[in-house]
């Protein structure tokens, strides 16, 4: 696991955008795995400005998002589908049929999960997967004690994640869906050729320390990334402040 410590959030965004940009420049039909949450918003902003500057072309790129709330239609303002269009897709030249996000309002949710997993397999896996991290160490919506063998499936959100994500629902936790579809840990580990995990802010400092330096345990789902052979963690100084090994700095 390579750990880069950015001086501030803007630098984190620039470093991660450069990884994607270089990848897409070298492989025009790259498959990208994308994440939601506030952390990648600045990365997407940077990618939009790189696109506007003519430095990156998304016309042949395919994307797969990590997760989506169950029960929300793609047009629901709090759906991850809506989030991705607002923060990235509507500003760049992606082909609409190259964008993949689980459909949260599919009445056949289990079938949706299986089809999604198959679509990633058929695409040949994911070249670069962007991940955020929950304060409890979750990746995607794989909450603590998710099985490391899990594939894309329906998941129950933990109480702490419901509270943390309530800010996107006008601050009201009651409005946060209790279920979601998420790529599983096995999906992420097996299908991602390269993983870039982003973390910003002191509320992520414990999770980052446990992920990188603690035991590999389902109590901290992100700790499994220690077993992946191509992971780059980009953390700002606040998120990195509890790391013990000075060699990262």
Under the criterion CB under 6 A, does residue 35 sit at the interface with ligand GLP? yes
Q: Which lies closer to ligand GLP via its Cβ, residue 48 or residue 208?
A: 208
Q: For this structure, is 29 an active site residue?
A: no
Per the CB < 8 A criterion, the answer to whether 6 and 12 are in contact is yes
Nearer to ligand GLP, 174 or 246 (CB): 174
Q: Is 137 in the site for ligand GLP (CB under 6 A)?
A: no
Q: Is 163 in the site for ligand GLP (CB under 6 A)?
A: no
Rounded Cα distance between 68 and 141, Å, is 9
67 is catalytic: yes
Q: Which of 16, 36, 63, 65 binds ligand GLP (CB under 6 A)?
A: 36
Is residue 39 involved in binding ligand GLP (CB under 6 A)?
yes
Instruction: Indicate which single residue of 33, 37, 42, 177 sits in contact with ligand GLP (rule: CB under 6 A).
Output: 37
Among 137, 140, 177, 184, binds ligand GLP (CB under 6 A): 140
Listed ranges 86-94, 95-103, 133-141, 234-242: which one lies at the site for ligand GLP (CB under 6 A): 133-141
Q: Give every CB contact of residue 147 below 8 A, 6+ residues apart in sequence.
A: 184, 185, 218
CB 92 within 8 A of CB 47: yes
Find out whether 202 and 241 touch, Cβ atoms under 8 Å: yes
Residue from 146, 165, 209, 223 in contact with ligand GLP (CB under 6 A): 165
The answer to whether residue 81 forms part of the interface with ligand GLP (CB under 6 A) is: no
Catalytic one of 23, 50, 65, 67: 67
Instruction: Give the pair of three-digit tokens for residue 43.
Output: 């990365």
Site string for ligand GLP, 92-131 (x = CB under 6 A): ----------------------------------------
């Amino acid at each position: 696991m390579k750990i880069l410590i950015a001086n501030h959030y803007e630098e984190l965004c620039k470093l991660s955008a450069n990884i994607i940009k270089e990848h897409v420049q070298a492989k025009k039909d790259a498959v990208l795995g994308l994440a939601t949450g506030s952390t990648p918003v600045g990365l997407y902003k940077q990618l939009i400005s790189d696109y506007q500057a003519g430095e990156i072309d998304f016309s042949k790129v395919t994307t797969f998002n990590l997760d989506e709330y169950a029960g929300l239609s793609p047009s629901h303002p709090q759906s991850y589908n809506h989030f991705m269009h607002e923060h990235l897709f509507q500003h760049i030249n992606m082909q609409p049929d190259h964008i993949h996000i689980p459909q949260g309002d599919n009445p056949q949710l289990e079938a949706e999960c299986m089809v999604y997993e198959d679509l990633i397999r058929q695409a040949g896996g994911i070249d670069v997967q962007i991940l955020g991290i929950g304060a409890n160490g979750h990746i995607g919506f794989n909450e603590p004690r998710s099985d490391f063998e899990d594939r894309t499936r329906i998941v129950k959100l933990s109480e702490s994640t419901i509270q943390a994500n309530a800010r996107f629902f006008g601050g009201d936790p009651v409005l946060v869906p209790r279920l979601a579809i998420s790529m599983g840990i096995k999906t992420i580990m097996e299908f991602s050729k390269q993983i870039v995990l982003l973390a910003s802010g002191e509320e992520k400092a414990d999770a980052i320390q446990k992920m990188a330096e603690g035991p590999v345990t389902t109590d901290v789902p992100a700790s499994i990334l220690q077993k992946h052979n191509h992971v780059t963690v980009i953390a700002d100084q606040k998120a990195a402040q509890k790391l013990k090994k000075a060699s990262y700095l």
